Amino acid sequence: MAVLLPLSNRLLSKSIHRLLLVSQIPNCTHPHPFAPSRRLCDSSSQNPNPTFDPNSNARGRSPLEKQFDTWVDRLRPGFTADDVAAAIRAQADPDLALDLFRWTALRPGYRHTAPAYLAMLQVAVSGRRYAHAEALVDEVLAGACPPDLPLFNAAVRFCCSRRHLFSRADLFKKMQQRSTTAHTPCRPSIETYSMLLAAVLRRFGKPPVSYVYLHSVRSLARQMKASGVIPDTFTLNLVIKAYSKCLEMDEAIRVFKEIGLYGCQPNEFSYGYIVQGLCQKGWVGKSMDYFKEMRAKGLAPTATVYMALVCGLALERRLDEGIEVVFDMLRNGMAPDLLTYRTVLEEMCREGRADAAFELLEELGRTKGAMDRRTYSDLLDGLHWLCQPRE
């Protein structure tokens, strides 16, 4: 590997020249936390044999280097972490922001604090510099600065968004340790628990996998209560959703009834998870009770919840209630899919109500927004085939 040639003042400012000499990076393309950015290194490699010419200093500088020097000049001696954070956030180029962050870290008597790390982490993530963002998280965990709650939450949010960083539980453990040992407590907040619960729920899949992660949901819910954090409706909905996906409906209903104890009110998603979970569990009667309570409050479920309830009622031969739910769904601007329509109509035929099934299909066909012509044709052909006499 070739050794990087000394950089001249013709191409880089004296501050960047000293930075490169201190870091002694053999290859500037290596993503070292304090290495100069690749773009600055590339600008210096255009002249392999630089010579110092004070008269050509201004003419030979690239726009990126001039922009960097402008920001360096704005940071007067004695600048603080807040000044650095403001400079980083004001910089539209994430690479240049990283260069400013590294340059200021090497200034005598200065040390990055939580606001500077937070600004740099947010800029790196928004600029899709994920390798640099991961390095910043590692530095925070290694004790590069005394972190605060916003910085910890930003690091947790970044780790939750990256699949290979999902298992980084040391962030949460470090927050818990600081909540009891640090001079400035950093106790996990409701935002922290919400992000962790949402990240766990994204990994729910088929029932065997869901049951594995349900233990994590239970653990987080217990720790949230034990730490004195008051949950909100969004966080409790995540817990209800986890229990409903695993068909642990007794636990889901228990959490649903606890919402009022925390000064919150259940919303359409709270009811929706309960209604859908009860239908999948086979408790259609209870599901219909929660649906009626929900509609009495003026809350409308999602299309998925509507269709789960319609299919559940149809399979239980509660067809009149299922038809009523279908028209309620249409009044709320949503239409069932082909499978839901077919379930209702076929169950009517099996119950000996073939004529009523054809009349219902005709009425739905005339209803605006209920179905398209192809769906109507498919359902009509299915009814004719189902109702034809068998030999």
Q: What DSSP string runs through 289-347?
A: HHHHHHHHTT----HHHHHHHHHHHHHTT-HHHHHHHHHHHHHTT----HHHHHHHHHH
Query: Is a pLDDT exceeding 80 seen at residue 331?
Result: yes
pLDDT, averaged across the chain: 81
Q: Are 259 and 225 in contact (CB under 8 A)?
A: no
Q: How confident is the model at residue 293 (pLDDT cuts 50, 70, 90)?
A: very high
Give per-residue pLDDT as tens, 49-106.
Answer: 444 344 444 456 677 677 677 777 777 777 888 888 888 888 888 898 898 899 888 8
| Mean pLDDT across 269-297 | 95
Total-model pTM: 0.76
Q: What is the DSSP letter of 372?
A: -
- Note the pLDDT of residue 45: 43
Share of the chain above pLDDT 70, in %: 78
Q: What is the dihedral of CA 40, 43, 47, 51, to 10 degrees?
A: -50
| Mean pLDDT across 170-185 | 62
More confident residue, 38 or 373: 373
Query: Is a pLDDT exceeding 60 seen at residue 333?
Result: yes
- Note the pLDDT of residue 352: 87
Q: How confident is the model at residue 291 (pLDDT cuts 50, 70, 90)?
A: very high
Give per-residue pLDDT as tens, 96-153.
Answer: 889 889 988 888 888 899 999 999 999 999 999 999 999 999 888 888 888 888 998 9
- Note the pLDDT of residue 213: 87
